[in-house]
Amino acid sequence: MDSIFLRIADLERKGDAIAVCTIVKGQGSSPRHVGSKMIVFPDGKIEGSVGGGTMESRVIKEAMEALNVGKSRILEYRLVDPAKGDVGVCGGQVEIYIEPLLPKPQVVILGGGHVGKAVAHLAHWLGFRVAISDDRHEFCSPEAIPDADEYYPVKMSELPQHLKITSQSYLVLTTRGKDIDIPGVPVLLDTPAPFIGIIGSKRRWLLTKKAMIENGVPEEKLSHIHSPIGLDIKAETPEEIAVSIMAEIIKIQKGGTGKSMKM
C-alpha cells in the first residue's frame, strides 16, 4: 500500500490530474478489502484496483466524471444479484469514495511586457501558479518578472513542448502583435486549457482571426478565444488591465456571471 501513496504524491507533485478511489466500507464478501485504492487518470487509465469486473468499470466511469466536475462522490454497490443491476455475485456490499485531485490553477502569460508583468504580480497574489513565456529572453526572467514561478523563453508555438498545459491552465496572451499570435495560437487551441484570452482591440482580433482562418484554422476552434480579453471596467493602466483580466479568469473558473453584486 505504501507504493500507491508514494505514486499519488509523485503525481500530485508533477501536477497531474487524478482521481483516487478508496473502498471505505465493506460488508459481507467482496473482491477487495477496506482501504484498497485505485488511481484513475482523465483518459480512463488506472493504477491499482478496487475489485475488477463490472464494479471497477463503473467506478472508473464515475471517477472520470468526478474529474470533469471537480467534486468528490461516494458510491454504493451491492454484489448479490446482477439480474437486479448489482455489480457482482460475491454477496457483499461496498462503499467507494472518489476524490479528484486537480493540479493547482495556473496562469500562463505569453508576453512579458508591462501588462504581462502586472498580470503575473496579481495572479501570484491571488494564489495562482504563474508561468511566463516570451521569445525575448530579457522579458522572460526572474529579474524582469519576479512574481512568476516558471520561465519559458521560447516561441509561442513551441510552448506546449516545454510546459504541460492542463485543464487548470488559464492562458493570457499579452503579446506584442498579431504577427506573434497568428503562427502561435493554433497550437494552443489543441491544449485542454479552459481559457485562452488575447489582449488588443476588436480590430486586432478580427484581423488575427481572419488570417488564421485563411491559414486553415477551423472557425469553430477560434470561437473559444476570449478577445479582447478581460471584463469591461474601462481599464487603462497595466495594473487596471490586469484586474480586468484576472476578474474574467476568476469568473470562468468559479462560474460567476460578471454582473454587479448589486444586480
Among 31, 66, 101, identify where a domain stops: 101
Same domain, residue pair 94 and 202? no
Strands ordered across the beta sheet of 150-152: 150-152, 129-133, 106-110, 169-173, 195-198, 225-226
96 and 111, same domain (yes or no): no
Tell me, yes or no, whether 137 and 198 share the same domain: yes
pLDDT confidence of residue 86: 43
- CA gap 8, 11 in Å, rounded: 5
Q: Which three cell numbers stand for residue 215?
A: 491559414
Nearest to 102 by CA among 169, 6, 168: 168
Q: What is the pLDDT of residues 158-168, one digit of tens each?
A: 999 999 898 88
Total domains, the chain: 2
Instruction: From 101, 129, 162, give the residue that closes a domain.
Output: 101
Summary mean pLDDT of the chain: 90
138 located within any domain: yes
C-alpha cell at 9: 504524491
**Does residue 83 fall inside a structural domain?**
yes
pLDDT of residue 85: 45
Q: What single-letter amino acid sits at 93?
A: Q
Domain end residue (candidates: 66, 85, 101): 101
Q: Do 247 and 181 reside in the same domain of the chain?
A: yes
Do the domain assignments include residue 260? no
In terms of domains, do 117 and 86 share one? no
Residue 47 and residue 94 in one domain: yes
Percent of the chain scoring above 70 in pLDDT: 93
Same domain, 183 and 244: yes
Residues sharing a CB contact under 8 Å with residue 35, sequence separation 6 or more, in sequence order: 1, 22, 23
What does the pLDDT look like over 31-59, one tens digit per residue? 678 899 999 999 999 999 988 778 888 89
Residue 185 lies in a domain: yes
* Residue 122 and residue 237 in one domain: yes
Q: How far apart are CA 142 and CA 149, in angstroms?
A: 9
Confidence category of residue 201, pLDDT binned at 50, 70, 90: very high
Q: Quick one: how far is CA 54 from the chain centroid?
A: 30
How many alpha carbons lie under 13 Å from residue 189 in its C-beta half-sphere? 19
Phi-psi region of 240 (alpha: psi -120 to 50; beta: other; left: phi over 0): alpha
Residues of the domain holding 55: 2-101
Same domain, 148 and 204: yes
Q: Is residue 259 part of a domain?
A: no
Relative orientation angle of helices 178-188 and 202-214, to the nearest 10 degrees = 60
Q: Are 126 and 187 contained in the same domain? A: yes
The DSSP bridge pattern shows strands 93-101 and 73-78 to be: antiparallel
pLDDT at residue 32, rounded to an integer: 73
Eight-state DSSP code of residue 83: G
Q: Output the CA torsion 240→244→245→248 (10° steps).
A: 160
Name residues whose C-beta falls within 8 Å of residue 259's C-beta, 6 or more positions apart in sequence.
none
The torsion of the CA quartet 151, 157, 158, 161, rounded to 10 degrees, works out to 100
164: CATH = 3.40.50.720
Domain co-membership, 95 together with 119: no
Q: Is residue 27 very low, low, confident or very high in pLDDT (cuts 50, 70, 90)?
A: confident
